[in-house]
Amino acid sequence: MVVANTFGFALIRNPDFRWWIGPQVRVGFHSGEVDTDPLTDYELVSFGLGAVTGFNFMAGNVCISPSLGILTTGFAGETDSPDFDEEFEGAITTAFLNIAVLFGK
């Protein structure tokens, strides 16, 4: 489960178009099995912070909103198996492109 929130501040705004920029905060909890070893489970938490820019285009009652950003995410967790238990931590920086379609007015 991952929850991400972007705080968008308008650079240009009119009724049919908005260009925004802002930070994104992402928090996650991940849990599951390792595909190659079904007896090995893992759990980890993650926290990410990044910069995002995007546009909102209105087309009637539909808003099309592409966004582009870069996000640095840190994570920590553990694996549990019959043979070993291991704790791990790390970080990764990723670039992303999202496209959202919102309906309603």
pLDDT in tens, 2-33: 999 999 999 999 989 999 999 999 999 999 88
Give the range of the structural domain holding residue 52, as residue numbers without chain letter.
2-103
Residue with tokens 């009119």: 14
Name the DSSP class of 36. T
Q: What is the pLDDT of residue 105?
A: 64
Q: Give the count of beta carbons closer than 10 Å to the beta carbon of residue 50.
A: 19
Is residue 93 helix, strand or coil? strand
The C-alpha atoms of residue 34 and residue 42 are separated, in whole angstroms, by 7
Residue pLDDT, tens place only, 85-103: 888 899 999 999 999 999 9
Number of folded domains that form the chain: 1
Q: How many helices (DSSP H) and strands (DSSP E) are in the chain? A: 0, 6
Strand partners, 55: 19
Burial 57-66 (b: 16+ CB within 10 A, else e): ebeeeebebe
Mean pLDDT of 65-91: 91
Q: What is the pLDDT of residue 34?
A: 76
* Alpha carbon 35 to its chain's center: 23
